[in-house]
Chains A and B, each alone.
Chain A
Amino acid sequence: MNTKERPDAAAPPVTVLLAEDEFLIRLAIADELRHGGWHVIEVGTADEGADVIRSAMPLDLVITDVHMPGERNGLELARLVRAVRPGTPVVVMSGQLAPTAADADLYTMFIPKPASDLFARISALLGQRAAPESR
């Protein structure tokens, strides 16, 4: 990782929880975010994500798909974030779900899939300059 070119090299990296069950999609998103200097915790289910939400792990952001295997979906994970970590931004991604007014309070940003320029869009959400190292 070339930290010299990162805009905030002296600052601690953004830590993001990424919940996505499609392995290749998760890998692509995680690679993009890591390329931008972020620390990514990957989970393949919302249940696994709930364990991280309830842990003491500092998190700056949660990104979650909606439909995943397990007992809960991504919106329920978002609801848990709102309850346990109320100040943490939540980005919900889905290729099937259209956001409704009833769910709007659960997330900070909705991104339809397939998602592009995810790092830039989410960096803007966090108020950071979207300048990945070497593109």
Chain B
Amino acid sequence: MSAVRAAEEETILLVDSDAVGRALIGDYLRGCGYRVLEAGTIAEAKQALGQQAVDIAVVDVALREESGFELAAWIRTSRPQVRVILTGSVERAASLAGDLCDEGPELMRPFHPQQLLDRIKRLRRR
């Protein structure tokens, strides 16, 4: 139970333009005790980051008509305390993803929510 209590202290921001997939992953993480915020666009994500204390941002690199890399770079400079995990469906240069991602490499789709949870746990242990 202590692991669940520890997880409750963490807030995860999920940034993904697929609302259904986002909800499924969000519910999985909520079931593990995390507080989960959801955003479908960069603007929404920035709104969430401006209004809520976020520990980890899980950012899909291919947002609708937007680049998750752009958001990750913004987080790096504007919210450096927020750790970033990138997800995507296309292999990127390791150096690019590595610069913007705290627990890499980019998590390739399709992935099971447990894989994402494993990365979140690895970040928490650091």
Residue in contact with A51 in the complex, picked from B19, B30, B47, CB distance below 8 Å = B19
- Report how many residues on chain B are interfacial, defined by Cβ distance under 8 Å: 18
Interface residues on A, range: 20 to 34
Contact B37 A43 (CB under 8 A): no
- Assembled-state Cα–Cα distance A27/B48 (Å): 10
Residue in contact with B19 in the complex, picked from A1, A21, A34, A48, CB distance below 8 Å = A48
Shortest Cβ gap from B18 to chain A (Å)? 8
- Assembled-state Cα–Cα distance A27/B19 (Å): 14
Residues of B within 8 A of A34 (CB): 30
Q: Does A40 contact B (CB under 8 A)?
A: yes
Contact A44 B44 (CB under 8 A): yes
Contact B38 A42 (CB under 8 A): yes
A interface with B by C-beta (< 8 Å): 1, 21, 23-24, 27, 30, 34, 39-45, 48-49, 51-52, 55, 57
B interface with A by C-beta (< 8 Å): 17, 19-20, 22-23, 27, 30-31, 37-41, 44, 47-48, 51-52
